[in-house]
Amino acid sequence: MESFGQEFGIRRVSPAPVRLPPEGTVEMGVIQRSTHVFAIVVFSALVWLAAPVSAQIVLAGSTPEDGAALDGPVRTVRVWFDQAPQVSKSALEIAGPGNRANVEGLHTMGENDLMGRVSGPMPDGEWTMRWTAVGADGEEQTGSITFTVDRRR
């Protein structure tokens, strides 16, 4: 009895051997692709996170200097930064004995600074100048500088 296929002239053919890649080759390709994708994602995240941090305004100096001992009152105060502050959004305040001195006419001299004139009496004692500065990134930074006035020096 002939097989079903032979009766219609169909001949039995053995299947061609399937060639598999060497062991581990397929997995390695997936791992390599995953590693590349992971590296791109990590690099993109680092670039995205680093950009805003570098724009924050940083204090570079002041007059009077922090910790200064002066033999008389100051008539102007000034702070410098690593970039130009937005004057309209920034402030300088002064506080000390009697709290009657204040800073007026806040402006910039075009040197990445804030400057103002001090009005009112400034008796001997410890004084604190508080600053608020807004940089190009729009973020507000604050700080203070202390100094003493002693006319007996």
Alpha helix stretches (DSSP H) within the chain:
4-7, 25-53
CATH number of the 59-149 domain: 2.60.40.1220
Q: Is the pTM of this model over 0.75?
A: no
Note the pLDDT tens digit of each residue in 39-94. 676 666 655 665 445 579 999 999 999 999 999 999 999 999 999 999 999 999 99
CB-based burial, 18-40: b 16+ in 10 Å, e otherwise: eeeeeeeeeeeeeeeeeeeeeee
Note the pLDDT tens digit of each residue in 103-114. 999 999 999 999
